[in-house]
Structure 1
């Protein structure tokens, strides 16, 4: 089961992005500077942005969903309970997972953006998909909620998870690291071997590497554990 970006070329005006690689089973982290094309590539992989050339091959993927950065784009239910039911999910459990207990009768679009993001991610990540594409899933969330989303992602309920983000503080464990650099998608490789090659790595990882530690994954706790092992 995988998504194959087969010699993709994406363009908008004078801007172009080249992508060639296979997103197989596991958690993939795609990073790059603001404006590098993360959202455009996410949209192309989801089938809502037409590439200038190349193709997207979905092998064994029949159920795919894209989470866009701004959650209001996804709203279809007038009330919070209507929104949850539109995903065919249990209302009480989903409210608990999103930290919105007791708000089932609120108008969905009267929630704050952070609350709406929590609701949307609880619905999307609680639904069965072969592949999920998450564009800036941590935007608008505090550290507690970011950790909650990371824990859900790490459960690996969805065979293929692709995260596009510039988050530098709270990240889930990942299997493969990708990076957009000078208009090209580059696969840095599988974790942990890919970590030293990751140019956009969070400071806590680069600091650990500078001190000679070798984190087993990309989370802050992985960097701390690597430093503790080194000094034990």
Structure 2
């Protein structure tokens, strides 16, 4: 199971993004500045946008899900329960997972942005996919909810998960780090070896590396362990 970008390029007037590399099974984190092309690349990986040049090969990928930053884009049900049912999942369990008990009959669009994001992510995480593309999955969530969904993502042991984010505080366990810099997608490699070349690394990670304390991964627990290491 893998997704290969073969000299993939997309061009818009004076802006361009080039990507070449292979996403294999595991959890991949793609970072980059705002406007660098993270959402564009997410659309390309999901097959919702065709590149200007090059190809995208999806091998042994039979199920795919892409989650956009703004959960309103995904709403199809008239109530919270209807929305869950439309995903083909257990609505009661999903409402509970999203911590929305008592709001089952509300329109999803009457929820707060954070509540709607929780509902959407609970629906996404209720099923398994060969390829799961998450574009800014932590936006609109408070720190507690970020940690909860990072734990859910970290438990994904099958398939390819690609997370596009500019988050700087709370992360799930990841296997590979990529970043977009200078209009090019760069693979920094497998964690923890990749941390040394990660230009967009959070300040805490950079400080730990400068002190010779290499964290095993980038979850809050891993960073705390490295900071307290003697």
Q: Which residue of 2 aligns with 1:143?
A: 143
Distance 2:125 2:158 in 1: 8
Q: Which residue of 2 aligns with 1:129?
A: 129
Q: Do the aligned residues in 2 keep the contact of 1:204 with 1:220 (CA within 8 Å)?
A: no
Distance 1:149 1:91 in 2: 18
Distance 2:117 2:158 in 1: 19
Distance 1:157 1:194, change over 3 A: closer
* CA drift at 1:221: 2.0
Distance 1:25 1:164 in 2: 16
Q: Which residue of 1 aligns with 2:104?
A: 104
Distance 2:107 2:224 in 1: 43
Q: How is 1:26-105 mapped onto 2 (pairs within 5 angstroms)?
A: 26-105=26-105
For the residue of structure 1 that corresponds to 2:213, the secondary structure is coil
Moved runs in structure 1, 4+ residues, more than 2 A? none
For the residue of structure 2 that corresponds to 1:194, the secondary structure is helix
TM-score normalised by the chain length of structure 1: 0.97
CA shift digits 1:62-115 (9 cap, x unpaired): 111110110000000010000000011111110111111121111111111111
Distance 2:72 2:5 in 1: 28
Q: Which runs of 5+ in 1 are unaligned?
A: none
Q: Which residue of 1 aligns with 2:3?
A: 3
Q: Which residue of 2 aligns with 1:162?
A: 162
Distance 2:48 2:181 in 1: 23
Q: Do the aligned residues in 1 keep the contact of 2:26 with 2:157 (CA within 8 Å)?
A: no
For the residue of structure 2 that corresponds to 1:139, the secondary structure is coil
Q: Which residue of 1 aligns with 2:190?
A: 190
Q: Which residue of 2 aligns with 1:114?
A: 114
* CA drift at 1:13: 1.9
Q: Do the aligned residues in 2 keep the contact of 1:8 with 1:19 (CA within 8 Å)?
A: yes
Q: Which residue of 1 aligns with 2:224?
A: 224
Q: Do the aligned residues in 1 keep the contact of 2:6 with 2:55 (CA within 8 Å)?
A: yes
TM-score normalised by the chain length of structure 2: 0.98
